[in-house]
Amino acid sequence: MKTNAARILEALGIRYELREYEVDEEDLSAESVARKVGLPPEQVFKTLVCRGDRTGAMFAVVPADNELDFKAIARLSGDRSVEMVSLKEVQPLTGYVRGGVTVLGARKEYPAYVDETIELFDVISISAGIRGTQLLLAPADYLRATKGKVGPITR
């Protein structure tokens, strides 16, 4: 199924592959998605929605097997502090539901901060904007499409 995120990549001339998987409503973890799409967790990136005290809403894009370092993303974004937004805020802010959040085609263009490990791989996987479908593409293409700022944001 072609998603808005996939259409954005096509409009930019970016090559990608769509990979569908069976959704388990009880386990929407990125680690589970990694197993289902046949990639190691470090190559599957989850998109978290956060809020900085100065910059407001933002995306944090981190590997499935890592945790976001809130102090590190605050330094990178120029905030004094950053926290996760509540689950009930995710859809109104982004237009996406938990397990289907992506920077591409979000309701508003919030800044995106991407963990530096993204540059270690030839191909990464990110949500296609719906549960059950991932986009596989080159990290450089993802960064170009999202205007993501790269830095060490995991622990």
Domains of the chain: 4-151 (3.90.960.10)
State the Cα–Cα distance between residues 113 and 49, nearest whole angstrom. 10
pLDDT tier at 152, thresholds 50, 70, 90: very high
Global model pTM greater than 0.85: yes
The yes-or-no verdict on residue 28 having pLDDT over 80 is: no
The fraction of the chain above a pLDDT of 90, given in percent, is 88
What's the whole-number mean pLDDT along residues 32-49? 94
C-alpha distances (whole Å) from 4 to each of 73, 127, 139 are 27, 11, 19
pLDDT of residue 30: 84
pLDDT of residue 106: 95
The yes-or-no verdict on residue 123 having pLDDT over 90 is: yes
pLDDT of residue 132: 93
